[in-house]
Amino acid sequence: MGALLLKYGLIAVFIGGALEGDVTFVVAGVTTHLGLLYLPSAIVAGTLGALTGDCTLYWLGRSRSTQIRNTRAYQRAEPIASRLAGRLGPWEILAARFVYGARIASIIFWSTRRLSFVKFVAVDLIGCFIWCCLSMTLGRLLTNRATILIGEVRRVELLLLAVVIVIVTTSFVVKTIFRRRVLKVNE
């Protein structure tokens, strides 16, 4: 990633932001610290790249909403997403950016719910900007430890994902056992 940033500069930050984001932004922060990129320009390119990628996902979700809603995965996840969306509203889009693996699911959820594109862009732009600023600032401040940091961020994100999977699985198992016991009692 670093070599691409050095060779292509802000274009690489934009494309990396659209496709991936996390590592791209940390490495971009390192390159700004080294004076190879200008931080405000890198933040703008990264934010716009991330927003572009998210808007692409939004339109894919919106144009395929019928097919997506008919999938088993969506039907299982929809009640959980609806409860969270009920608490946070569209601001859930911003919150999902900070939970590994939740950003894409959140975008798909809101696009199938027909959230207006203007409202989506407004909320997502704020989330992209905050995430980009935080990631680049982190990379900039920790330039000497950036390689270690990238590994640590991935480890923490994977740990959080594992915790979510364990909680969801445990909840499912407990509910299944409870339902079977209730059915046996009612027979």
DSSP per-residue codes, 68-137: HHTSHHHHHHHHHHHHHHHHHGGGHHHHHTTSTTTHHHHHHHHHHTT--HHHHHHHHHHHHHHHHHHHHH
CA distance 138 to 145: 10
Q: Quick check: helix, strand or coil at residue 100?
A: coil
Report the chain's mean pLDDT, rounded to a whole number: 82
Contact at 8 Å (CB) between 49 and 15?
Answer: yes
CA distance 90 to 127: 11
The reported pLDDT for the residue numbered 73 is 80
* pTM for this entry: 0.70
The reported pLDDT for the residue numbered 82 is 81
Round the CA-based radius of gyration of the chain to a whole number and report it. Answer: 19
Q: What are the pLDDT digits (tens) for 46-74?
A: 999 999 999 999 999 888 888 888 888 87
Per the rule left: phi > 0, alpha: psi between -120 and 50, beta: everything else, 120 is: alpha
The reported pLDDT for the residue numbered 129 is 96
Q: Considering only CA atoms, which of 132, 131, 122 is closest in space to residue 55?
A: 122
The reported pLDDT for the residue numbered 78 is 79
- Tally of CB atoms within 10 A around 19: 12
**Which residues of the chain are under the pLDDT cut of 50?**
none
The reported pLDDT for the residue numbered 69 is 82
The reported pLDDT for the residue numbered 41 is 93
Q: Considering only CA atoms, which of 68, 54, 174 is closest in space to residue 113?
A: 68
CA distance 90 to 93: 6
